[in-house]
């Protein structure tokens, strides 16, 4: 998977590589070609993510990550050419705060938020308990493959 990264904030190459590898696992599990898959990634501050959250979700607060899928249904995905799945926006400050709160590395939190978001881009959700369990299992399987378990 290719990540189109907006480098406003420095993101370590190792973290970006883990995100690409994890994203590829997610895409391949859906039967899609990871070599064609692309995701746009942007890291923003609290003010910007709150504005995006207010504008697109009508929730006026800071959040850790937002996902903007390109496709409503995976059947709409073109069979050839680049496969831009959508956009991922992570609030770096919130992610680093959560890493500290949860007692794990910043790398794990940033990669987890990216994988969580890629799952959303692929149609997963966590509004119902059954859907949440399926999504969490997918996320944890990918994190395990990356050796970034809890």
126-146 mean pLDDT? 92
Long-range contacts of 1-4 (CB under 8 A, 24+ apart): 1/27, 1/34, 1/37, 1/38, 1/39, 2/37, 2/38, 2/39, 3/38, 3/39, 3/40, 3/41, 4/38, 4/39, 4/40, 4/41
Q: Is the pLDDT of residue 7 over 80?
A: no
17-63 confidence digits (pLDDT tens): 999 999 999 999 999 999 999 999 999 999 999 999 999 999 999 99
pTM of the model: 0.94
81-135 confidence digits (pLDDT tens): 889 999 999 999 999 999 999 999 999 999 999 999 999 999 998 888 898 899 9
């Amino acid at each position: 998977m290719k990540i189109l990264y907006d480098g406003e904030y420095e993101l370590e190459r190792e973290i970006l590589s883990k995100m690409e590898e994890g994203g590829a696992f997610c895409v391949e599990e859906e039967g899609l070609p990871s070599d064609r898959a692309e995701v746009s990634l942007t890291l923003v501050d609290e003010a910007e993510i709150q504005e995006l959250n207010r504008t697109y979700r009508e929730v006026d607060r800071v959040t850790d990550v937002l996902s903007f899928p390109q496709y409503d249904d995976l059947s709409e995905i073109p069979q050839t050419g680049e496969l831009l799945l959508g956009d991922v926006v992570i609030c770096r400050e919130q992610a680093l705060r959560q890493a500290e709160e949860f007692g794990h590395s910043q790398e794990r939190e940033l990669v987890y938020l990216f994988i969580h978001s890629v799952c959303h881009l692929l149609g997963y959700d966590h509004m119902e308990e059954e859907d949440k369990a399926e999504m969490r299992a997918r996320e944890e399987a990918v994190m395990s493959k990356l050796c970034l378990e809890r």
